[in-house]
Amino acid sequence: MESASAISSRWKTFRCSWRGEIRALCGGNGAGKSTLMKILSGVIRPSEGTIAIDGKLVAFRSPIEAQRAGLALVAQELSLAPDLSIHDNLWLGHASAPMRRQTGVTAQKARSALVSVGLDHLDLGTKVRTLGIAERQLLEIARGLVRNASLLILDEPTATLSDNEISRVFGAVRTLKARGCSVIFITHRMGEVYQLCDTVTVLRNGRVIATEPVAAMPRETLLELMLGRKLTDIYPRHSTQPGDQILTVRGLTVPGVVHDISLEAHAGQILGVVGQIGSGAIETVRALAGLAHAATGEVWIGGVPLRLGSAPAAAASGVRFVSEDRGEEGIFLDQPASINLLATRLAEVASRGFLRPASLRKTAAALAAQVGFDTRRLDTPASTLSGGNQQKLAVGRCANRDMAGVILMNEPTRGVDMGARAEIYQMLRRFCDEGNAIVLASTDIEEVIGLVDRVVTLYRGRIVGTHQHPGIVETTVLAEITRAEAAL
């Protein structure tokens, strides 16, 4: 990513919003969104330009100064202290926190903030460690209210949430809007822009490209402004002719999570395993990858039995896995792109236990070209790459395999901009054309509808519906989940 000075020197005027306005901020990875938000919140000082709040010029030298001016940033990575109480977390880092740990005033203000975001059922003494991810996200928003924020910046607040949890966040944001609080909402999900926001600003290469009312910005136009080029079709064609049945699953069970799952996956097709967080979809895919040691049931790959609970056994059977947690499990952040591309196939570029540099470079370059990764950046540490490029490294390990098999993926485009998403979608279809079967779990219903050929819907670890393209529609999938909830 460019430096703050390089980016800030090229921004046009960024007029944030009127009071009570929800402003979407869109752009690809590396467009400058996060850097701009860090400048607004006092984390980074701009090299030039001015910031005005209510017509008054300000120059923040620290986040505390930005906080006192009414700005609060909720970053992508939550900053809560899990072993502290809700009350202590709400006041943690507050510029005007009292010396005494808990007074009637701080408790009253904390309680009021919880009510505003729909967490009034929680006790102030509850440890944050016991909260779900959605409750933690809402707690971050409540912290901004305790700090008297008049402008709240939310950086991808729904990236790890289910649809039901996203609805709670949306409800909290709309409540803030009704109270006159302005919100800058950063998201890669186009549906969220049109469901929630009043206006949208597009950044590209560190410049403001456009700011328009959402109602006046067609989705196709928004995508083209973000990418700087025509995007005729985000999603590739669907498969109409399934090949041989590669994956067969009977009675897959992970105690307490997945119950008696049976499904099939065919060569040349993408099977979506869909459900809200907690449905068991993620756990089903992980179990098939050999990452659930307590899993039971029967699984066959190409007619050959697969031993559950063993990742090496799964890999030897032609199973490849792309984790939902890119930073922790997907890539090695401190290693260069070349090593990341070859991390699961080092034997191909080694001799007698030693890596052969020339072979490593040649093979990595071939894989990079396959997945649309710039070969000039093969020596670049993964930690410095955008989310889209990091995901290309994780997915790229599945390319150019001698044996077709099963590719398992959880949340394949989480935190990835639309341009990189389109490239990854095309990549997955190429894998199918090579004879692979793909099984993926995603909480992005729009992605599921646009990409997969067949859908299995899960609720609380059980299958509640199965659909074939083109009969897959969002309302049908959501209705199945709703009916399952009502039946319990």
CA nearest 453: which of 469, 433, 476?
469
Buried b (16+ CB within 10 A) or exposed e, 341-375: bbeebeeebeeeeeeeeeebbebbbebbebbebee
CA nearest 298: which of 246, 269, 260?
260
- Ranges for all domains in the chain classified under CATH 3.40.50.300: 4-227, 245-487
Confidence at 6, pLDDT banded by 50, 70, 90: very low
* pLDDT score at 134: 74
119-178 per-position pLDDT tens digit: 888 899 999 998 877 788 888 888 888 887 888 899 888 876 767 778 888 888 898 898
Q: Which CATH architecture has domain 4-227?
A: 3-Layer(aba) Sandwich (3.40)
Whether domain 245-487 has CATH 3.40.50.2300: the reply is no
Buried b (16+ CB within 10 A) or exposed e, 50-75: ebeeeeeeeebeebeebbbbbbbbbb
Residue 353, H or E segment: none
* pLDDT score at 427: 92
Q: Is 70 exceeded by the pLDDT of residue 80?
A: yes
3-class SS at 385?
Answer: coil
Structure tokens that stand for 109 in this block = 């203000």
CA nearest 414: which of 289, 293, 277, 292?
277
Confidence at 99, pLDDT banded by 50, 70, 90: low
Task: Report d(CA 480, CA 465) in Å as an integer.
Answer: 7
Q: Which residue has the tokens 């109480």?
A: 85
* pLDDT score at 254: 95
Answering whether pTM is above 0.85, one says: no
- Is residue 391 within 8 A of residue 351, CB to CB? The reply is no
Q: What are the residues whose beta carbons fall under 8 Å from the beta carbon of 103, sequence distance 6 or more?
A: none
403-422 per-position pLDDT tens digit: 779 999 999 988 787 778 88
Helices (H), 179-239: 190-196, 219-227
3-class SS at 423?
Answer: helix
Top-confidence residue, 478 or 55: 55
Q: What is the 3-state secondary structure (H, E, C) of 62-121?
A: CHHHHHHCCEEEECCCCCCCCCCEHHHHHHCCCCCCCCCCCCHHHHHHHHHHHHHCCCCC
Confidence at 317, pLDDT banded by 50, 70, 90: very high
